[in-house]
Structure 1
């Protein structure tokens, strides 16, 4: 079915002359038509007829991509304005009797049932491609005008006006935000600057950087914290076993003003090298029972306490809670 939908989508887009950006509307319309088409598997009945028990109404089925004229609301026009605007039929709306239409002038999708179809002009209409159609003019003579696609005169004028409007841009100087100071932006593409003042990716880069003293201090603080929290026990390596490697991860902490607060170094184990049943038997994380959280909140409410922070930390036993109350 997925292949059937894609085959019909390609055919519908090519026949209607629509861009690929309308693929979702085409798939949805193809599904709508398939559900209302006879099938040999159900004795030439339609899926909708089998599902609802009612015959299918084909009066609302129209050609995908056909031009339609949509009636303006009285609040949207004045006495001398046109009563309708030209749109493109894309499919059927859910839950209402309206149709899904593309307004090439406003560049938006609308839903309306007050429409008049021109299905005989679907193949010659390329209005939906006016956004991507380009016109190249080399000389002033008519012979040298090169155009791609059948573009009406009023649409050609609109495309030229849109090109002129693109040129009339503001001359105000645009400054990138502070957090992009480590990047170079060119044509909406950001390139990262690999400088010596950046974050090192390995221990060798940290020892060779200009901030080697700061990184060494950060690594010493990490080792002291690991030793203070008794993260590991020094044991003898079993015979025939290999120790799991580790690596340093470096990070420069910055405040809201993009100013450096501190240099942070973390020693992490290469967990991807572990094997279940050999290097570990189970994986767990410190958690706390919901009943405990409810008791703490109830105590705060009864004694009119202000709860500033609630942390779940694994110190001496799993699920131990540290609170700061005032």
Structure 2
């Protein structure tokens, strides 16, 4: 790599288990460190998981062919397989794994706008993520699951490089010191529940279990250069255990430079600005800022002049158009929608709202929604509420005053007032398929909306509601029994769907096995397809 990692590493050793696809990564300061890491990995696998490593495949690089390492293989009964020079396909598992990790790591660095010195950390996080992703090669099991025998939890996973606050122990702070230090999330610990966090002030990665995440803020991009890692700049040498890769060399052209005081000031200022506290520190702008301010001011002046000229050219027509739009907007905002029945029938628009209420009650009476009755012993009622809405046209003018009586479904009791509530809707893939078929054969496509659809649904449960406001009944009755469903009931959508299903099947339609909301009818060689999405039919 062009720079050392944050910890001074120059190389990445990636080991892949052929049997599970599980990866293990080591960041190395020198290639000679590979031997110790390989031995450590093999012993851990054989001890912790009771697996026996049978062969090691590598590209014959000098660090993998050391006599001491060869003696270790012989002692463990491990066979060495050296790939053919310049034939990368003979070590395909390792080559593919390296490319995947570089791609994931590069994407994370770029998205977080982090410096290239974070390459080793990004690679380790990429390996951690990859081990927890299902693989088609292993019947959609994750490498972690194959090795450990159980599915991994992902509840603890966070967005890489998101803003993190790490709790400072009481022993290390005074009463008036901040309780937490700010950092960037840098990954996970394999053997504990701790997370790794880059402490911005200390310029190092720390481990902690006490933290708070802000996953809407990432990195510190204004200070550090843009991250672009080029695959062609990687000098890769292959090595893998059971088809496990090799140290991956990152070209070194110079030591990582420490941040200067001016850069630290920029970093601190950037982080303060991103906190969005609204507090600004008074300071004199530099020449570039003043120059930019002048340019912006000049641009605004030019725009104002152009706007004035434009206004003068269109003096006769433009003001009238804008005035009509503004007048409609003002007219719409002056009219408020009542929130209670009393506000509606006693407000300035009571005439319109009374008509809307009567229209809603007439619709319910026509469909036989209610039946006046005496509340049976042991039963309870649920309340109702009037909802008022002003429907407008595209230009903002009033189209209709709408009143709807809804049930207070949150007072329903499971097992008494309702049981099942699920109602299917057409799948988008079905919708796209039908539209494509219609276009291909030149069929006619029609759409209809069932008005007050839920009021057609036949109730199966015994549900009683209190007498709604604005409705008068004989003294012999004290409640309504719901014969049909009304909006607000938990099962209203399901009841409507069942009623619709029974009706369309009764007139000769057949439901599709592929989608419960797709119906088909063939009559005299004519095919009719029917799609339903709640109360919309296509």
Which protein has the bigger helix share? 2
Instruction: Compare CA radii of gyration and give the structure with the larger one.
Output: 2
User: Which TM-score applies when normalising by structure 2?
Assistant: 0.32
